[in-house]
Amino acid sequence: MNETRRQILFEGLVTGIIGYATVAFVLGLLDVASGRPFFYTAALLGQAVFGGFGESGASFVTPGAVFTYNGVHLISFLVFGFLVATLVVETELHPAFWYVSFFVLLGAFFLVTLVVSGFGAALGGELPWWRVVLANVVAALAMGTYLLLAHPRLLREVREHGDPEIY
């Protein structure tokens, strides 16, 4: 395995875990601030995705629903982390590629927000859309910060070798 592939795998793993943990933590804090159990949103989404739309409330938080949702959530963020790490490495190697990277990431953010907000609407308003957006924005900032720290030359390379009309 070459060094670039190893770098992408490592950074993708770290980026995915950062995103997963950040979203879980932010949603948990918002649940507690609303007077609900820390894993309320995870249980709500786990039940919605795998068990149909059923009851809600504190008794609704079951380990099965929480683990099921978190498994899918972790896998999703790991896949996204590998995608983002690949885009960052490619952009660092080919600075003009930042256009593609930007629109792929923007589209992925929009799609995830739309899908999870749709679940929130289907849950009868139990999951407000702004919670999903806030958690994902904080996660994107955390993942982006890690990747920029891991690639300090990235912004300079894009500025120097990207589209000169922009700067």
Q: What is the dihedral of CA 45, 145, 97, 81, to 10 degrees?
A: -40
Compute the Cα dihedral for 55, 52, 25, 109 and give only its sign: negative
Compute the Cα dihedral for 91, 97, 100, 103 and give only its sign: positive
17-36, pLDDT tens digit by residue?
Answer: 999 999 999 999 999 999 99
49-86, pLDDT tens digit by residue?
Answer: 776 555 554 456 778 888 888 998 999 999 999 999 99
Per-residue pLDDT, 123: 64
69: Cβ–Cβ under 8 A, 6 or more apart, which residues?
A: 42, 43, 45, 46, 49, 50
Residue 145 has pLDDT above 50, yes or no: yes
What six digits make up the tokens of 122?
């289907």
Per-residue pLDDT, 69: 86
Compute the Cα dihedral for 130, 134, 139, 145 and give only its sign: positive
Residue bearing the bigger pLDDT, 86 or 92: 86
Residue 122 has pLDDT above 70, yes or no: no
Burial (Cβ within 10 Å: 0-12, 13-18, ≥19) of residue 36: buried
Per-residue pLDDT, 142: 95
Percent of the chain with pLDDT over 90: 34
Residue pair 4/17 in contact (Cβ under 8 Å)? The answer is: no
Residue 167 has pLDDT above 50, yes or no: no
| Segment 9-14 mean pLDDT | 96
Length of the chain: 167
How high does pLDDT run on average in the chain? 82
What six digits make up the tokens of 3?
């060094």
What are the CA-CA distances from residue 109 to residues 36, 113, 157 (Å)?
A: 27, 6, 25
Tokens 């994107």 appear where?
A: 140
Residue pair 138/22 in contact (Cβ under 8 Å)? The answer is: yes
pTM above 0.85, yes or no: no
